[in-house]
Amino acid sequence: MNVSEQKMATDGKNMYPVVTEDGIEIVSINLMIDENEPVVWRGPVIAGAVMQFWNEVVWSDFRLSFNRYASRNRRCSSNCYEKL
């Protein structure tokens, strides 16, 4: 989707998604951190990030959400869906 060079914007209170050429808004941890920065992902951390995205991202017209979790994080995905 050609967004790997872009970074998500924030104003300290809200986060703003990266927008593709086709107008698709994308939110990803990969768009927030340096690609060489190590990140330790555990269930509670992932769940917290997803909830923060849900509560703090300003979408222009939210209609559909795709959430992708690694297969080893099945517990996290079920916890996130329970909270949403």
| pLDDT tens digits, one per residue of 32-42 | 888 788 877 77
User: At 71, which amino acid appears?
Assistant: S
Structure tokens at 63: 């209609």
**Overall average pLDDT of the 67-80 stretch:** 59
**Overall average pLDDT of the 33-54 stretch:** 78
Structure tokens at 1: 């989707």
Q: Are strands 9-10 and 18-19 parallel, antiparallel or unpaired?
A: unpaired
pLDDT at 81 over 70: no
